[in-house]
Structure 1
Amino acid sequence: MNAIVTMDALTVDTGVRDLRAADHLLHTLAAELALPEDAFGCTHLVRGDRPRVALSLAFPSEPLLRTAQERLTARGYEVTPGVPDPMGRAVLYPGVSSLTGTLTIAELLSRSAIARVTVLGSPGQPAPDTELVTRDHVRPHWHDGELVLTAMPAVGGTLVPFEVPDPTPCCADH
């Protein structure tokens, strides 16, 4: 079962419409709520008549959840129990602050809650000594109850996370 689902979790609907703003808001909320290192903060794309990015926060204990729920509700956010879906994109998770610079896959896995790494176009997992250039932006997704980082090949036999830190907006040159 998905670890984030088994923790005490809540969904925060802030009306944010893009991932960069949602990431920034998650970091702001984590600081304001003094979230512990073992909390999770994820983004979830909500489709339909009002597309947006919902946030989920998962806590190691129920009292932390209650406090966060009270503070977020007082700020005017729509807060509901649980997570919107099991496929969240993790922004805050145990070990994320140590994933900077260039790391081996073994270091990435031992330092964080990420369970495995997949490489686009490759059937297997990368060797433990393969280097990953993090670009200080590592956003794994929940998949079958595990945090999985998708990477892609880069220069010199290294890997980089699939998600880039500063994507070029669509039609930026128009």
Structure 2
Amino acid sequence: MGALTVDAGVRDLRAADHLLHTLAAELALPEGTFGCTHLLRGDRPRVALSLAVPSEPLLSTVQERLAARGHEVAPGIPDAMGRAVIYPGAAALTGTLTIADVFTRSAIARVTVLGSAGQPTPDTRLMTRDHVRPHWHDGELVLTAMPAVGGTLVPFEVPEPTPCCADH
């Protein structure tokens, strides 16, 4: 699997998610592709994208097509802690599923629960809100969840975050 970084000057996660989905559709990226966001700090804070594709020939094609569209493209990924937006099985994580379903339907390898030292049981229900964004941790995709109503879990990241000071 080969990877590359796309720096499109995006400044927020929602725009980065949208751009990843747009690029994946336009480039007809195959199942097995990973598309992640990475927060870049420093003098120009922004969100970079990384794409990891199943083969080197495909990686070269993707890199050429992105560069031809004016995107700044570099080999590799910016860091090992990417937030996965596109990953095998992501589209199947809708509605309410058990943790066992999450593991069998997607590339997510582990679920952690805020405030809990242990792992949730396989039959614990996860209300996905159709927005599941795991992070890479030690080479595996890990979803952080939090307790919700009735003993269920929800992904920690909400689909429509309220901007800071939205009510002012």
Tell me what 1:99 maps to: 93
Matches within 5 A, 1:1-174: 7-174=1-168
TM-score under structure 1 normalisation? 0.96
Report deviation, 1:39.
0.3
**Equivalences, count:** 168
Report deviation, 1:54.
0.1
Report deviation, 1:47.
0.1
Q: Secondary structure at the match of 2:9?
A: coil
Post-superposition Cα deviations, 1:29-81, rounded to whole Å, max 9, x if no partner, equal 00000011100000000000000000000000011101110110001111000
User: Structure 1: how far apart are the matches of 2:22 and 2:9?
Assistant: 15
Tell me what 1:4 maps to: none
Root-mean-square deviation (CA, aligned residues, Å) is 0.4
TM-score under structure 2 normalisation? 0.99
User: Structure 1: how far apart are the matches of 2:56 and 2:138?
Assistant: 24
User: Structure 1: how far apart are the matches of 2:149 and 2:31?
Assistant: 33
User: Structure 1: how far apart are the matches of 2:145 and 2:29?
Assistant: 28
Q: In the alignment, residue 125 of structure 1 is paired with which amino acid?
A: Q
User: Structure 1: how far apart are the matches of 2:10 and 2:116?
Assistant: 34
Q: Secondary structure at the match of 1:67?
A: helix
Unpaired segments ≥5 residues, structure 1: 1-6
Q: Secondary structure at the match of 1:42?
A: strand
Where does structure 1 differ by over 3 angstroms across 4 or more consecutive aligned residues? none
Unpaired segments ≥5 residues, structure 2: none
Q: Secondary structure at the match of 1:118?
A: strand
The sequence identity of aligned pairs, in percent, is: 85
User: Structure 2: how far apart are the matches of 1:173 and 1:65?
Assistant: 44
